């Protein structure tokens, strides 16, 4: 399971995040997604800890904590398939019943 870390400073590095979470156990992986076009961090990341107990301790300690001038939002990451789709589908494009031009 991964931990979602939101409201991060855009200046944060993987090493910074790893260091903070290492206080609560063994950090297996840190991801900081970047904007595809600008390459800038997107203000959130994911941290994977060695055990569920370590993840729980980190979440309880860091959710709402101030770090690098920002109040962190820390919780268990939800798998992508649990999120609602963002737009798309109905109401977009042209209907085939309209005919040609």
With respect to residue 92, please indicate whether it lies within any of the assigned structural domains. Answer: no
pLDDT for res 89: 52
With respect to residue 84, please indicate whether it lies within any of the assigned structural domains. Answer: no
With respect to residue 41, please indicate whether it lies within any of the assigned structural domains. Answer: yes
pTM: 0.77
pLDDT for res 92: 47
Mean pLDDT by 10 residues, the chain (101 residues): 95 96 98 94 97 98 97 93 55 50 52
CA atoms within 13 A on the CB side of 65: 13
Report how many domains make up the chain. Answer: 1
Among 16, 11, 10, 13, which residue's Cα sits nearest to residue 62? Answer: 16
pLDDT for res 84: 57
Cα dist. 71→9, 27, 41, 50, 57 in Å?
10, 21, 17, 25, 17
With respect to residue 96, please indicate whether it lies within any of the assigned structural domains. Answer: no
Its domain, for residue 19, covers 2-78
> What CATH number did the domain enclosing 24 receive?
3.30.70.330
With respect to residue 99, please indicate whether it lies within any of the assigned structural domains. Answer: no
């Amino acid at each position: 399971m991964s931990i979602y870390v939101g409201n991060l400073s855009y200046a944060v590095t993987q090493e910074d995040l790893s260091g903070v979470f290492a206080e609560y156990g063994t950090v297996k992986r840190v991801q900081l997604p970047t904007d595809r076009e600008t390459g800038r961090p997107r203000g959130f990341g994911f941290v994977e800890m060695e055990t569920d107990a370590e993840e729980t301790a980190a979440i309880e300690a860091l959710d709402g904590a101030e770090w690098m001038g920002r109040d962190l939002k820390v919780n268990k990451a939800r798998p992508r398939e649990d999120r609602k789709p963002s737009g798309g589908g109905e109401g977009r494009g042209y209907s085939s019943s309209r005919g040609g031009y």
